Copies of this chain bind each other. A is one copy, B any other.
Amino acid sequence: MADTMPTQEAVRAWTRMARAQQRTLERIEGALKRAELPPLAWYDVLLELSREGAADGIRPFELERALLLPQYGLSRLIDRIARSGLIERRPCAEDGRGHLIAITGDGRELLGRMWPVYGGALAATVDARLTRAEAASLARLLDKLLADEASPLDRPA
């Protein structure tokens, strides 16, 4: 399968990316925890549900794609958030298999309280170390890395 070994540059980029992501995530989760707020995954769900056009709710499989979560992980995540009253499940008219997930008033309110903490952690981590031009450059390189051309690994063995 793997007939080519990575360049030294690719290895260094990967190890740094893994570290930087881990550290940044720890800072964000730490800040949320200190503020007694839910974890980042809840923010991502609430944000997606608060977008224009999601007022009537969206289907779990749409969330699944937006957040790149496996379906079984999502079922239980939705359960937990719904039990807290931040989102609600509604029956779906067009497709009896699934339902619609919609954000509640409490959900919108919490989203508003989470952003200052989340954003503050990001500013203290990223903006404190990179200029705007550097951050833009970083984002551009990561976008290239995210281009979803099929890679050799995608071929079935």
List chain A positions with a Cβ less than 8 A from chain B. 1-7, 9-14, 16-25, 27, 30-31, 34-35, 68, 116-117, 119-130, 132-139, 141-147, 149, 151-153, 157
Contact between chains at B18 and A21 (CB < 8 Å)? yes
Which residue of chain B lies nearest to A23 when distances are taken between CB atoms in the complex? B146
Q: Can you pick out 24 interface pairs between chain A and chain B where the beta carbons lie within 8 Å of each other?
A: A3-B120, A6-B119, A6-B123, A7-B127, A9-B135, A10-B123, A12-B136, A13-B126, A14-B24, A14-B126, A16-B138, A16-B139, A16-B143, A17-B138, A18-B21, A23-B68, A24-B145, A27-B153, A31-B153, A128-B151, A130-B144, A137-B141, A138-B142, A138-B145
Chain A interface, DSSP helix/strand/loop, else mixed: helix
Give the CA-CA distance A41 to B9 in the complex, in Å. Answer: 21
Of the candidates B4, B14, B25, B137, the one whose C-beta lies within 8 Å of that of A137 is B137
- What residues of chain B lie closer than 8 Å to A2, measured between beta carbons? 31, 116-117, 119-121, 123-124
